[in-house]
Structure 1
Amino acid sequence: MLQSLGLNELAHEIYRFALDHPGCRVADLLDGLDASEADLQQGIGRLLELSLLRHASGTLIPTRPPLALRTMLERQQSELLRRQSEFVHIKAAVDRLSEEYEDAQARGTHSGWERLESPAAIHARMERLAGRTATECVSLLPADANGLEALRARRPLDQHMLDRGVLVWNVYLESIYNDRTGLAHARWLAQNGGKVGTAPTLPLWLVVFDRTTALLPVDPQNPAAGAVQVTGAGYLVGLIALFERLCESMTPLDAPGVREGDQPTPLERELLRLMGQGLTDEAVCKKLGVGLRTARRMIADLLERLGARSRFEAGAKAVARGWLRPCACGGEQPIRAKEAKGSPVPATLTEGLGIGMLV
């Protein structure tokens, strides 16, 4: 208790000794207390500062504490009142700023949707929505949504939701395993109660809060175009259905990969499907979130395993083996290119167009 006055146990003993031995001297304290002279002098100095002792003809005289400490108590009471008044004013200012912020947000919204132009505006909105989320926050996070700055901004939001018991469910590209920073965040989330999985491709980045509000890009091909917040029930039903459909084929993070016979992995199957759509190597890389050399190495490996000399032939053999489902719509089935009479299509052209050229 006396420590709040800056008095240690020895100083207290000196004061009590002076009460029992009025007019004592330092020599008396040395004889009566088990302490060095330096420690005694330090304790006496503190008691003199507080006016609990005073010198009188070389002796130490104790004084009455209430009188000696009244000035100190009045000073501290004045400081407490000042701080309390300051707190009241700060709270009022924060409340006013919060009201102005909410009013501004309300003025900027449209019926069911609102466009967010800048990364700062997107993050501010995510912060606001995450702070209000009560049940779940589900996200699709392709490679361009997992930059270092984005992860640094997202982690405290995820942490706050997890601390409140909110289910945080993120789906990443399988290529997350090649991204040290992104993988570290995904594993941190899984270890702290979040749900994390991977998929070969993701159509866009998407965050849905409590199944009532979603954020998605204005243009999935151009992150700089900004984002849109949607709240209409019609929008949300479709977006949630998209998320749940992707989760059906999701692989839990760090799940052991098991290849059944000669069947391709989910990533290899998706690569074949993208090739079947006629995408260029560069477009395939962007969809899968892998480097160009990695994509070409995977393509070469698939061609070798299928015993194919071209992508066209690889598509046909993938369907024959059951790696891809036949589909006349040109989705997963590689449709054979129609050749002009007397003029076969050069191999280089069929390879450039991919294995999914429509008739």
Structure 2
Amino acid sequence: MLRWPHHGIAALASDTGLSENAVCKALDELASLELLKPSAQEAGHLRPVSPTVGLTALLANAEAQVCTQQARVESTRAAIATIAAEHDHPHDRALRLEGLDAVRARLEVLQRDTEIECLSLNPGGAHRPDARQAATPLNEEALRRGVTIRAVCRESFRNDADTLGYARWLTEHGGHMRTLPTVPIQMVLVDRKAAIVPLDPADPRAGALEIRTLGAVNALYALFEQVWQQGTPFGEQPPTDLNGCTPTERALLQISAAGDTDETAARKLGVSLRTVRRMMSSLMERLDAASRFQAGLHAAKRGWL
């Protein structure tokens, strides 16, 4: 038809060697592909569309169909991944992080993905300079996104000027910090979905476990809230109880009552041995006790513990 646009069905059959029935079917197919259109000059006749226009439109339509099919493939792939994830129960597994570098790298990823809150318990004393340098930009970015940051630290961290300065920076930028004489365990909780706990509490540099089992994460969250409620907000003086004891003095009495030595008490409280002995001497005098053991007995009888 491009060569002889005015030929009718009989002429086209002669031109192509096809039967008139086959020519009619071919014309119907070409019309359905919009490669033939009604003639404006001759009623009942069809005119061929320029290949540049007609075939380009067909190619564009084919490309659109390919894109649609590709989108369906990607959607199916995503659905398969979701089904596989649910079947494999990844949230019931713990990820083992070997060494301090692996822990910090994972915390960086988790903190960048944090949407709601990041909670931490910090039983150590002064923060290492490299740890503060790594945490500061991540905390600043999270706070800008509206993430809530709450941290519980040991009271003795105030003895380190750099760590004290970091605490001031965090609270001035919208973070929250509380202190206690002793903190039970090192832990980081992210969005109540993941928890990072040490492999060996006595050696944080050994590595950690990332836990995502919902029951375990909820239990650790409850522990955090209990510890948080007992803490003293940063910037406030720890309150004394009705017996005139500070939280640190009560903690020292509890440690002593458990039979621990002054050296162990100093390590748990994060203070010097001299400080522990000075505090113990003051408590013994106030309790009218001649020994640490007697002080524990008198404290228990008087309801100081």
Assess if the C-alpha contact under 8 Å between 1:217 and 1:223 holds in 2: yes
CA distance in 2, matches of 1:261, 1:128: 46
Q: After superposition, where does 1:199-278 map in structure 2 within 5 Å? A: 199-260=180-241, 262-278=243-259
What per-residue deviation string (whole Å, max 9, x for no partner) do you get for residues 20-61 of structure 1?
xxxxxxxxxxxxxxxxxxxxxxxxxxxxxxxxxxxxxxxxxx
1:128 to 103, 109, 121: 109
CA distance in 2, matches of 1:246, 1:258: 16
Question: TM-score of the superposition, structure 1-length normalised?
Answer: 0.58
Q: CA deviation at 1:225?
A: 1.9
- Sequence identity (%): 44
Q: CA deviation at 1:259?
A: 3.1
Residue 144 of structure 2 corresponds to residue 163 of structure 1: yes
- The match for 2:78 is none
Assess if the C-alpha contact under 8 Å between 1:145 and 1:205 holds in 2: no
- The match for 2:286 is 305
Assess if the C-alpha contact under 8 Å between 1:142 and 1:289 holds in 2: no
Gaps of 5+ in 2: 1-84
Assess if the C-alpha contact under 8 Å between 1:146 and 1:182 holds in 2: yes
CA distance in 1, matches of 2:269, 2:133: 23
1:190 to 154, 165, 171: 171
Q: CA deviation at 1:261?
A: 5.3
CA distance in 2, matches of 1:117, 1:192: 32
Assess if the C-alpha contact under 8 Å between 1:263 and 1:323 holds in 2: no
Task: Give the residue type in structure 1 aligned to 2:145.
Answer: R
What per-residue deviation string (whole Å, max 9, x for no partner) do you get for residues 223-279 of structure 1?
232111111102101111110111121110121344355421111101111111111
- The match for 1:322 is 303
Q: After superposition, where does 1:270-289 map in structure 2 within 5 Å? A: 270-289=251-270
Q: CA deviation at 1:183?
A: 1.2
Report the 3-state secondary structure (helix = DSSP H, G, I; strand = E; otherwise coil) of the residue aligned with 2:150: strand
Task: Give the residue type in structure 1 aligned to 2:178.
Answer: G
Greater Cα radius of gyration, structure 1 or 2 = 2
Report the 3-state secondary structure (helix = DSSP H, G, I; strand = E; otherwise coil) of the residue aligned with 2:289: coil
Task: Give the residue type in structure 2 aligned to 1:180.
Answer: A
- The match for 2:17 is none
Report the 3-state secondary structure (helix = DSSP H, G, I; strand = E; otherwise coil) of the residue aligned with 1:143: coil
Q: After superposition, where does 1:4-43 map in structure 2 within 5 Å? A: none
CA distance in 2, matches of 1:311, 1:179: 29
State how many pairs are aligned.
217
Assess if the C-alpha contact under 8 Å between 2:126 and 2:160 holds in 1: no
Report the 3-state secondary structure (helix = DSSP H, G, I; strand = E; otherwise coil) of the residue aligned with 2:202: coil
Task: Give the residue type in structure 1 aligned to 2:209.
Answer: V
Q: Which has the higher contact order (CA 8 A, sep 6+)?
A: 2
What per-residue deviation string (whole Å, max 9, x for no partner) do you get for residues 180-203 of structure 1?
111111111111101110011111
Task: Give the residue type in structure 2 aligned to 1:287.
Answer: K
What per-residue deviation string (whole Å, max 9, x for no partner) do you get for residues 105-139 of structure 1?
x9xx8942111112111111010000000000000
CA distance in 1, matches of 2:209, 2:110: 13
Structure 1 window deviating more from structure 2 (285-294 vs 202-211): it is: 285-294
Task: Give the residue type in structure 2 aligned to 1:212.
Answer: K
Q: CA deviation at 1:166?
A: 0.2
Q: CA deviation at 1:205?
A: 1.0
Report the 3-state secondary structure (helix = DSSP H, G, I; strand = E; otherwise coil) of the residue aligned with 2:192: coil
Task: Give the residue type in structure 1 aligned to 2:185.
Answer: L
Q: CA deviation at 1:144?
A: 5.3
CA distance in 2, matches of 1:110, 1:261: 46
Say if 1:245 and 1:110 are closer, same or farther in 2 by CA, change over 3 A. Answer: closer
Say if 1:318 and 1:129 are closer, same or farther in 2 by CA, change over 3 A. Answer: same
Gaps of 5+ in 1: 1-105, 325-359
- The match for 1:179 is 160
